[in-house]
């Protein structure tokens, strides 16, 4: 693992973050997870643009251009020597004596890690994973990829405790997204996902799946859907940078479709991996 902290390349467990760092104290920052396949960044521009958007949303000036952020991430990848890896970058409002108000004249604090990616074998992927439903207890600005992940963590742990892989979040009776993924269902042959809004993260994998659906001539529709729609769906899958396209075959104890990845999911998952 390669670790970067504010201009230095350090060891994983070095104490490089001062106690008054605002990410550490308030979760006052934003982050991205980007994947590198065979040495090539996958949709890195989109990730960095989302990072900039998240920073703007919390009124934080990154003080770096999109190109500078990209080249910093690629430097980390090169130093790691990894060909297939995940780059985590976190930018917080900086280091200043603890207080809620934005500190004046501070520089953002930037940390990064590069770790080898965990590959999910195709056989395991197509066997599918299980999920539960959980109330979406988050705030109203889930389009911001902020460090405040406590509701996500708690819901994911509830899923894990129930032997499930992901928790599908429900707000006002409708599915928003997963704790760290976007959710798709196949309904009457159409690929359905929730429209973008403040209530979900605009997933980069979601964006790619929309493009793939067009290439594969699969009708793609954005509309809200309920728990019942999920349970009655022909297929369900989740998407994220680290899980890619991952079928969900049992939800809250109900088997989805035939209990393994359905044909639409399989096509999208395979096409995704072929085009990364």
Chain residues in the site for ligand PLP (CB under 6 A): 177, 180-182, 201, 203-206, 239-241
Give me the least distance between CB of 206 and ligand PLP, in Å please.
Answer: 6
In the complex, the smallest distance separating the C-beta of residue 207 from ligand PLP, rounded to whole angstroms, is 8
State which residue, 109 or 179, has the beta carbon closest to ligand PLP: 179
145 is catalytic: yes
CB of residue 160 vs ligand PLP: minimum separation in angstroms? 16
Task: Provide the minimum distance between the beta carbon of 189 and ligand PLP in the complex, in angstroms, as a whole number.
Answer: 24
Which CB sits closer to ligand PLP, 181 or 187? 181
Q: Which is nearer to ligand PLP, 32 or 94 (CB)?
A: 32
Q: Which is nearer to ligand PLP, 80 or 205 (CB)?
A: 205
Active-site choice (145, 156, 227, 270): 145
Per DSSP, the residues of the chain read -EEEETTEEE-TT---S-TTBHHHHH--EEEEEEEEETTEESSHHHHHHHHHHHHHHTT----S-HHHHHHHHHHHHHHHT-SSEEEEEEEES-B-SS-SSPPSS-PPEEEEEEEEPPPPPHHHHHH-EEEEEEE----S-TTS-BS--HHHHHHHHHHHHTT-SEEEEEETTEEEEESSSEEEEEETTEEEEPPPSTTS---HHHHHHHHHHHHTT--EEE---BHHHHHH-SEEEEEETTTEEEEEEEETTEEPTTSS--HHHHHHHHHHHHH-
Active site members: 145
């Amino acid at each position: 693992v390669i670790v970067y902290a504010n201009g230095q390349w350090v060891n994983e467990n070095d104490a490089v973050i001062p106690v008054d760092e605002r990410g550490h104290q308030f979760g006052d920052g934003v982050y991205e997870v980007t994947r590198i396949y065979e040495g090539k960044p996958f949709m890195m521009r989109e990730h960095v643009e989302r990072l900039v958007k998240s920073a703007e949303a919390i009124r934080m000036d990154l003080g770096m251009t999109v190109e500078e952020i990209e080249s910093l991430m690629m430097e980390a990848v090169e130093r790691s020597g990894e060909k297939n890896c995940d780059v985590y970058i976190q930018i917080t409002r900086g280091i200043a004596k603890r207080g809620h108000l934005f500190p004046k004249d501070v520089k953002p604090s930037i940390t990064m890690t590069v770790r080898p990616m965990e590959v999910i074998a195709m056989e395991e992927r197509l066997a599918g994973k299980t999920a539960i439903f959980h109330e979406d207890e988050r705030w109203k600005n889930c389009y911001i990829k902020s460090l405040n992940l406590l509701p996500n963590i708690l819901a994911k742990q509830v899923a894990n405790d129930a032997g499930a892989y992901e928790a599908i979040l429900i707000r006002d009776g409708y599915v928003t997204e997963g704790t760290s993924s976007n959710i798709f269902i196949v309904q009457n042959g159409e690929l359905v996902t929730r429209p973008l809004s403040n209530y979900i993260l605009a997933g980069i994998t979601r964006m790619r799946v929309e493009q793939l659906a067009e290439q594969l001539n699969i009708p793609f529709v954005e509309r809200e859907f309920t728990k019942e729609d999920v349970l009655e769906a022909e297929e369900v899958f989740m998407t994220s940078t680290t899980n890619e396209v991952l079928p969900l075959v049992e939800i809250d104890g109900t088997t989805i479709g035939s209990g393994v990845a359905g044909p639409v999911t399989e096509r999208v998952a395979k096409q995704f991996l072929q085009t990364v």
